[in-house]
Structure 1
Amino acid sequence: MSNGIDLSEKLSTFSEHWSPRTVTQFNNCDVMVVKVKGEFVWHKHDDTDDFFLVLKGVLDIQLRDRTITLGSGQMYVVPKGVEHRPVAREEVHLLLIEPTGTPNTGDAATAAPRRTV
């Protein structure tokens, strides 16, 4: 990487929701941006934590016993094995970091394909 990465520019290259785009990799992890709106599926990741950083908007991360609400500049890490469901009332822009190949639904059969921008 010879230059910095402009996350806003990367986010401007697509409009689909719930379809993460990898912007770079480090230590066998994908650093991704994604636009979300509405409710995602309840899911969990048995082998890895789930990192969310809100770049724009307000995101609710529903857990079975409570809801975590995040605004711009706030982050939350869902521990591995914990069921959760992200919910965005309006469009939200996120930065995600996951081990390369982690399915966003927790199940490779239903996961969004991994794309790079």
Structure 2
Amino acid sequence: MAMDINGLNSSQANSSKARNAQKVVSSPVSQPDESNNPAKPSGETVRISAEGQTLNRISKDIDLETPVNQSRVEALRAAIADGSYKVDAQATAAKMLESDSLF
């Protein structure tokens, strides 16, 4: 994933590759100046790569689609508070190994 802000990328070679691979989303950046006109655009732009845009969209989708089972949360909270919650170490280790294989 590449980000180029006003050509200040650390490598000029990577910068040209990044510009070719990016979908450009431009937005004027307003900064206060001595004339007290903060809405005046300064002409600066920010470029967000296609990967960054995709990650942002996925993040928003996950936030909308992940319901919290409040009754389950309360049951676990109560079990932890009264000391009756027991961790199954074997199941926890198996899940960790399973998720590790995804990467």
**What interval of TM-score do these two structures reach, taking the shorter chain for normalisation?**
under 0.3
Q: With structure 2 as the length reference, what TM-score do the two structures score?
A: 0.22
More strand, by proportion: 1
- Higher helix residue share: 2
- For CA contacts below 8 A with separation 6 or more, give which structure has more relative contact order: 1
TM-score, normalised relative to structure 1: 0.20
Rg: which structure is higher? 2
